Amino acid sequence: MKSLPADNIHQRLSDLRNGTGKSQQEVADELNIQASVLSRIERGETKAVSHDLVIKFAEYYNVSTDYLLCISDIRIRRNVELEELGLTNKALLQLLQGNVNGDILSRLLEHRYFPQLLDTINSYFTEEHNAGFANRNAVIDMGTASLRELIKENPDCKIETQHGIREINAQKITGTEADIEKIKSIFLVILKDIKKEFDIPFSDVSSEELQKQLANMRKQALFQKKKNPKFNETNMAKLVMNMFQNMGMDLDEYEQELFQKMMVHMFQRKR
């Protein structure tokens, strides 16, 4: 039997179940346990649970056991089946043998533009944009044909018109070439963003600065409430949290929830 740490596991289980929109009875039936057992755990009345039950909850909600036991705030299970990653055996061997820099690969995968990069690479492989650019080039050809007719009618404009034709033709590009340029552009943006993280050393604000920022944020939140009486403590807390995130503070879902609860409590206590 494993003791429940910090009385937090019951809240996490409750939050996870509420996130599914299912009742305690529904979850209990699917886990083949009594609803009363689940109810006591979620209310924090159970002081210990078996390892088997912790694992069962983790598998059911697709989270790590460390997350349920409050050892980690990361929900995602790391012990997923390798097949679930969708990689080939050769690719897995490259990772497992240490032939690939896992840190850089992770940064690439985590970048917000990486899915767009893969979509563009897929378009390049399938040549799905070639037809569209062929039509575009056909329109350009029609335009240059008209200019050639103009040269026949106005020989004095031959040099200037030929120069214009060359400039227009320079705009012709195939779908494949366009995809390659887009791939280059997206990839360079990703690399530059990642390089910034390597070049800039980690720095934290001092405790005094943090207190100053908190006081300023609370002042702004109270000002909003004074302007709008319907602006309650929950809205004030959300405003402060948004300010923090705009400052670059990266909070996961669980941290956001805790932070908002703390701010609501602070505002209610200061009324």
**Dist CA 170 CA 167 (whole Å):** 5
- Percent helix / strand / coil, the chain, rounded to 5: 70, 0, 25
Distance of CA 141 to the CA centre of its chain: 44
Is residue 40 situated within a structural domain? yes
Same domain, 6 and 63: yes
CB contact at 8 A, 102 and 78? no
CA distances from 91 to 24, 56, 84 (A): 42, 31, 13
**Dist CA 46 CA 39 (whole Å):** 9
pTM: 0.42
Task: Enter the DSSP assignment of 112.
Answer: T
Is residue 109 situated within a structural domain? no
**Tokens 């002042």, residue?**
219
**Structural domain containing residue 60:** 2-68
Angle at 244 between CA 239 and CA 246, to 5 degrees: 95
**Segment holding 49, helix H or strand E:** strand 48-49
CATH number at residue 50: 1.10.260.40
Is residue 79 situated within a structural domain? no
Beta strands in 109-163 (DSSP E): none
CB contact at 8 A, 56 and 31? yes
Same domain, 233 and 174: no
- pLDDT value of position 1: 40
**Dist CA 65 CA 59 (whole Å):** 9
As for how many domains the chain has, the answer is 3
Tens digit of pLDDT per residue, the chain (271 long)? 444 444 578 888 888 888 888 899 999 999 999 988 888 888 888 777 778 888 888 888 888 787 888 777 666 655 555 666 677 878 877 777 778 887 788 888 888 889 999 999 998 999 888 888 788 778 778 777 777 777 777 877 778 777 777 887 777 778 888 889 999 999 999 999 888 877 655 455 565 666 666 667 666 666 666 666 655 666 666 666 666 555 555 556 666 666 666 666 655 554 4
Residue 154 C-beta-side C-alpha neighbours within 13 Å: 10
Same domain, 189 and 125: yes
131 forms beta bridges with none
CB contact at 8 A, 213 and 205? yes
